[in-house]
Structure 1
């Protein structure tokens, strides 16, 4: 690990840890035993994640170790992690992944967004700059998710998100996670396996022609109240592979 990488990690930990409450620091310390300090601080410090969402996400991404920081911004607090699949493919882990609502479903002149609790981008081993898949998950722990209007909105949202990103988020309920957590892990791993299987024999040219920017969205913008408030620079570094 070079000096620049060490300073980058230290800067991230100092900035994010200083913003955590006492309870959040305790949660980060607990999660660090499974996913490491950097990943734990990133998840706990990310805006808009509930404690249960953080715990479920941590239990999922521990299968993608080693985990490291990819990029972050403060105020609002957002961090993207980098890990690897068991097969060695690079993944980028995006808590509160933003998806722009298409103009066709909005009033003229409006702009709004959905946020998926977590999305994971998997990159090709042929070209590690080419994303070949996007897997997303929503933790449905709030009772509002199960009333009729909540279900209708969720189903419609998932269809539009899939139209826009080729990702259809899977939904994890409290009961499902309590009884069958391994099924959700298996779903993620199977998705990654299929994406690699379908692309590993492609030529570099065909891979780039097929997948270049297919799964990319404008993540590096800061959004609030449905509008682009201001541009806040993200800090990122090329981590040694």
Structure 2
């Protein structure tokens, strides 16, 4: 039912878009109709698919690296409070810097290949995972911590057997946010400097006033983000099956 509802809403939006552009006679270079975007998708399917694969690889690798780095940071901050007091300001400072200011430096340091885009995606994904997971680790039920203390559990045992399982819902929330913002880092990196990827396609299409190709690339990017979010949702539901989600 959710899929049918989504398809119906999408069809309604596309139909209204097509009718609006046709009735108002909007030039295609300003706002192409969905039919023209679909034509561009099929006409340049191979070219768009190749570049979408590059961006997809950058997003997935950045998501994996950012998740691992965020989890390690949160676990270290929870296990060593003194280190956590140093890490937290650094985490906040890393997000205060504009992504467009960091991307050119990464391109200079790492080149025009995938490495700079993966690092960019990692930096953006790192913060929501680390902050949500650390918050979950710090909000462990005090009764469980008292029970671990009575059982004479060590710091590492308490972290592994009590804090970590209790923080899984927080980690799941951070992963869902990270999945939504994951494409931003890769695309911004491609805008600054790249030889392939959907961001590169957008820049080239914009320079040539190929608005239909630009929208086609945007459509593929949005579709990719939805697929990644669906996969992450499925994984998090398996990770914390005891949490019931309320369907809206």
Measured against the shorter chain, the TM-score band is under 0.3
Superposition TM-score, scaled by structure 2 size: 0.26
Superposition TM-score, scaled by structure 1 size: 0.26
Structure number, greater radius of gyration: 2
More helix by share: 2
